[in-house]
Amino acid sequence: MDTNSEYTISDSGKILENANLIKKYHANLVYDYTEYPTKGNWKETFGEKEYLNCILDWYPKNKTKPVLFYVHTPFCEQLCNFCLCSKEITQNYDRVKDYLYNYLSKELDLLENFLLKNDVKFNYKEIYFGGGSPTYYKEKEFEYLINRLKKFIDFKNLGDFTVEIDPRRVDEDRLLFYHEMGVNRLSFGIQDFDPGVQEEINRPQSPDLVHKLLTDKVRKLFPVINFDLLIGLPRQNINTITQTIKHVVDLKPTQLQTMYVHYKPGTRKYMIKMVRNEPMLDFYDRKAVFQTASKKLIDAGYTRAGFESYALPNDPLASSMKDKQAVYNSLGTQKGEATNFIAVGSSAHGVLNDDYYFQNFYEQPLYRKALDENKFPIYRGLKLSEDDAIRREVIRHIRTFFNIEFDYFDKKYSKNFKKYFEQELNRLKSHESDGLVTINDNNVILSPLGEHFSPQIANIFDVYNDQEFYNKST
């Protein structure tokens, strides 16, 4: 097998000639498998005690494993109609300061004291500031947070330190300041450059605004720059996405995540504002827009890096795909250096690989109440069984590399893959007859057509969320 061919889109353009197939396999996907078991299956009986025990259980066996430290900032100045992230919209900076100085700091104190007391010294290799909008912090607060982290994280030991950037809220000086603070990777929320689409999603920001930020100096200091784009927004079509990608290619980010937008007006009522003039794209148009974006990016020299990601050939993400080190998780396709997360801030979730998931309260009052009572604000979590861990790895390989090499799993888990997943391999036979996968003696390979349905194919291996459920909800 030509191992590079998996990452090009080759003839996956044929997807658009297969409307019936798209309809058959399209499912109202609520899960994109950034975690498995998916969050709805984590247990609320997993609280503070379980969280602390899980650290004590995991750490002695994994002292040198790289850990990413995630910090969540749940505030934004203005609402984007598509947004599913956990955030509060406010113009009151005192509210942001109160969160940082009185709550996030307290959570950091609790964590630092617990780790010190138990002689736990994680090998922190990455930091990730996500949101909401970490760009909301003014320099004074940002610097306070960095100094607080420096008390227990050795910044000299860090690889990537990423900040999610809302380009409307920063200027070149701010980006240079981030560099001084140790940040070396920027992830910009771009979403779409078409003015009509931007109007629907309430996210006006021109290519020029981003261009002014990405000065030579900034590019030199931040060798990795990621853009997030969304696929399936109202008023997107082949022409608008072609223009958007033209601007993107001019701006030359080294990485891109092109995510299908999730539409959940049931949990976020404001999302209906996005469809006040035009509907969300249907199952066929989403694929057409995705396919167009994909093709234009590949034509411009990007390589595909998993289901929804792209990288320039000299970006570390591209090499991690070649080395099979890349990992798909809640931060997109990552180069896989640190796959264990310790996370702070409301809604933040962590993972100690193959063993545990845990998550803080989403709601500010619950998050704050726990900290007021000097408790870790843990909302839910899960201890993974061996079966969960194996299935998670299978799902990751489907989503990232579009294949399952049986040997890898036989060796890693001392199981006979074909026997262990006999039922799932049988269920995949109908996908094989539709041309989505090839089932060989040693592997399952998704065809270029099947790559488009990798979440649905991953779902076959999900014992918690039944495929029937998806099909009924289409």
Ligand X SMILES: C[S@@+](CC[C@H](N)C(=O)[O-])C[C@H]1O[C@@H](n2cnc3c(N)ncnc32)[C@H](O)[C@@H]1O
Interface contacts to ligand X, rule CB under 6 A: 76, 82-85, 131, 133, 164, 166, 189, 191, 228, 230, 259, 261-262
Q: Which is nearer to ligand SF4, 189 or 450 (CB)?
A: 189
Smallest distance, ligand X to C-beta of residue 257, A: 7
Q: Residue 118 and residue 115: Cα distance in Å, rounded?
A: 5
- Which string of b and e fits 307-340 if b means at least 16 CB within 10 Å? bbbbbbeebbbbebbeeebbbbbbbbbbbbebbb
- Please tell me whether the peptide bond between 37 and the residue prior to it is cis, using omega within 30 degrees of 0: yes
Q: Does 26 bind ligand SF4 (CB under 6 A)?
A: no
Q: CA 33: distance to chain centroid?
A: 10
Let me know: does 400 contact 36? Beta carbons within 8 Å.
no
Residue 261 interface partner, choices ligand SF4, ligand X, none, CB cut-off 5-8 Å depending on type: ligand X
Element containing residue 188 per DSSP (H, E): strand 185-191
Phi and psi at residue 129, in whole multiples of 5°? Answer: -100, 110
Residue 79 interface partner, choices ligand X, ligand SF4, none, CB cut-off 5-8 Å depending on type: ligand SF4
Q: Which is nearer to ligand SF4, 74 or 306 (CB)?
A: 74
Going by DSSP bridges, is the β-strand pair 403-405/66-73 parallel, antiparallel, or unpaired? unpaired
Smallest distance, ligand SF4 to C-beta of residue 119, A: 37
- Which position's Cβ is nearest ligand X? 189
Residue 262 interface partner, choices ligand SF4, ligand X, none, CB cut-off 5-8 Å depending on type: ligand X
Smallest distance, ligand X to C-beta of residue 221, A: 20
Nearest residue to 356 (alpha-carbon basis) of 343, 372, 371: 343
Residue 145 interface partner, choices ligand X, ligand SF4, none, CB cut-off 5-8 Å depending on type: none
Q: Residue 172 and residue 204: Cα distance in Å, rounded?
A: 19
Nearest residue to 53 (alpha-carbon basis) of 353, 339, 330, 355: 355
Q: Which is nearer to ligand X, 75 or 357 (CB)?
A: 75
- Using a 10 angstrom Cβ sphere, with 0-12 exposed, 13-18 middle and 19 or more buried, the burial of residue 426 is exposed
Q: Which is nearer to ligand X, 146 or 230 (CB)?
A: 230
What is the DSSP annotation of 64-109?
TSEEEEEEEE-EESS--TT--S--EE-S-HHHHHHIIIIIIHHHHH
Residue 352 Cα distances to 57, 58, 62, 380, angstroms: 10, 7, 9, 14
Residue 359 interface partner, choices ligand SF4, ligand X, none, CB cut-off 5-8 Å depending on type: none
Residue 381 interface partner, choices ligand X, ligand SF4, none, CB cut-off 5-8 Å depending on type: none
* Candidate ranges 127-135, 286-294, 295-303, 383-391; the one touching ligand SF4 (CB under 6 A): 127-135
Per CB under 6 A, which of residues 40..99 are in contact with ligand SF4?
76, 79-80, 83, 85, 87
Per CB under 6 A, which of residues 135..194 are in contact with ligand SF4?
166, 189
Q: Does 308 bind ligand SF4 (CB under 6 A)?
A: no
Q: Which is nearer to ligand SF4, 57 or 88 (CB)?
A: 88
Residue 230 interface partner, choices ligand SF4, ligand X, none, CB cut-off 5-8 Å depending on type: ligand X
Q: Which residue type, as a one-letter code, is found at position 317?
A: L
Q: Residue 152 and residue 169: Cα distance in Å, rounded?
A: 29
Q: Which is nearer to ligand X, 210 or 444 (CB)?
A: 210
Smallest distance, ligand X to C-beta of residue 167, A: 7
* Candidate ranges 125-133, 137-145, 176-184, 423-431; the one touching ligand SF4 (CB under 6 A): 125-133
**403 beta partners:** 445
How many helical (H) and strand (E) elements, i.e. helices and strands, does the chain have?
Answer: 21, 19
DSSP 313: T
Total binding residues toward ligand SF4, as defined by CB under 6 A: 11
Phi and psi at residue 246, in whole multiples of 5°? Answer: -60, -45
DSSP-derived 3-state class of residue 191:
strand
| 266 Rama sector, left if φ>0, alpha if ψ -120 to 50, beta otherwise | alpha
Residue 259 interface partner, choices ligand SF4, ligand X, none, CB cut-off 5-8 Å depending on type: ligand X
Strand ranges (E), 240-348: 255-260, 303-304, 309-311, 327-329, 332-334, 340-344
Q: Which is nearer to ligand X, 84 or 238 (CB)?
A: 84
Residue 307 interface partner, choices ligand X, ligand SF4, none, CB cut-off 5-8 Å depending on type: none
Smallest distance, ligand X to C-beta of residue 191, A: 6
Smallest distance, ligand SF4 to C-beta of residue 86, A: 8
Smallest distance, ligand SF4 to C-beta of residue 262, A: 12
Smallest distance, ligand SF4 to C-beta of residue 9, A: 27
Q: Does 133 bind ligand SF4 (CB under 6 A)?
A: yes
- Using a 10 angstrom Cβ sphere, with 0-12 exposed, 13-18 middle and 19 or more buried, the burial of residue 434 is middle
Q: Which is nearer to ligand X, 82 or 122 (CB)?
A: 82
Q: Does 259 bind ligand SF4 (CB under 6 A)?
A: no
Smallest distance, ligand X to C-beta of residue 332, A: 9
**Which positions lie near ligand SF4, rule CB under 6 A?**
76, 79-80, 83, 85, 87, 131-133, 166, 189
